[in-house]
Amino acid sequence: MTPPIIGFIGWHDSGKTTLVSSVVRCLRDRGLRVGVIKSSKDQGIAFGAPDTDTAKHRRAGADPVVFIAPDQVVMLSDNHRLTFMETCSRYLDQVDVIIAEGFKDEPAIPKIEVFRGPDLAPLREKVPGVIAVASDTQIPVLPCLPLNNPQAVTEFIVDHLQTIPGHPGETLAQVTINGQHQEIPLKMQAETTRYLSRLSASLQQPFDPQAITIQIQTKKE
């Protein structure tokens, strides 16, 4: 299943990248795994010198080529003209939430417009799916979020995630100790749910569990 996606759109130099990077840090601080997908109209962008080993492998026809170093993993691939959603499903399926920078013409994703008005025309009037505006001025339409407050933008995103069944933001795991319900931190909630879902899927039984119960006995009776 494709993780939930939140898009950020705006005119050039509106501050999209600055806001997105700040929101990514805020979401990470909440324990969520975040992937970012960014669009570009430029072609021939060089991500490695032509005399590198990875470049030689690509010229030989390898696709993709994966480079693993102690500090990073880089994958280079040709553009196979996958749809936006196909790309997200193939390359970003292991994250909790995807942040898309650009892609204003993708009607299926909810978007936040980064707007520094009033000199520029608002994109929200012609772009589908805009659910909020992040601006340095007050906008009397849609939820208006403070552009210079990434925490507030993050809160809006988390609230939106709560409306998506089965995705981060929804309470998926609870613990009851001696009859008392205890809240599980979001990071542990997501990790526990993913682990138990994989564990149940490994059982040789044709069923799709909607709830899993674990019993832990702390001492012998």
Domains detected in the chain: 5-42+82-161 (3.40.50.300), 171-221 (no CATH)
- The mean pLDDT of 96-109, rounded to a whole number, is 90
Pairing of strands 72-76, 65-69: antiparallel
- Please check the confidence at residue 153 and state whether its pLDDT lies above 80: yes
Nearest to 122, CA basis, from 111, 50, 43: 111
User: Taking the model in full, what pTM does it have?
Assistant: 0.70
Is a pLDDT exceeding 60 seen at residue 172? no
**Residue 171 pLDDT exceeds 60:** no
The CA–CA distances, whole Å, from 119 to 69, 115, 132 equal: 46, 10, 19
When comparing pLDDT for 123 and 112, which is higher? 112
What is the phi/psi pair of residue 106, to 5°?
-85, 105
Q: Which residue would you say has higher pLDDT here, 100 or 78? A: 100
Rounded to a whole number of angstroms, the distance between the first and last alpha carbons of the chain is: 43
Categorize the per-residue pLDDT at 173 as very low, low, confident or very high, splitting at 50, 70 and 90. Answer: low
Residue 1 scores a pLDDT above 90: no
Residue 43's pLDDT is 63
Distance from C-alpha of 218 to C-alpha of 116, rounded to nearest angstrom = 57
List phi, psi (to 5°) of 121.
Answer: -70, 135
pLDDT single digits (tens) 34-72: 999 988 766 665 666 777 887 888 888 888 888 878 888
Q: Is the pLDDT of residue 12 over 90?
A: no
Q: What is the pLDDT of residue 95?
A: 86
pLDDT value, residue 148: 92
Res. 157: pLDDT tops 90: yes
Averaged pLDDT score across all residues of the chain: 80
Say what angle helices 16-29 and 150-161 make with each other, to 10 degrees: 60
Does position 123 have pLDDT exceeding 70, yes or no? yes
Mean pLDDT, rounded, for 210-214: 68
Pairing of strands 72-76, 5-9: unpaired
Distance in angstroms (rounded) separating the CA atoms of residues 208 and 122: 45
- pLDDT score of 196 more than 80: no
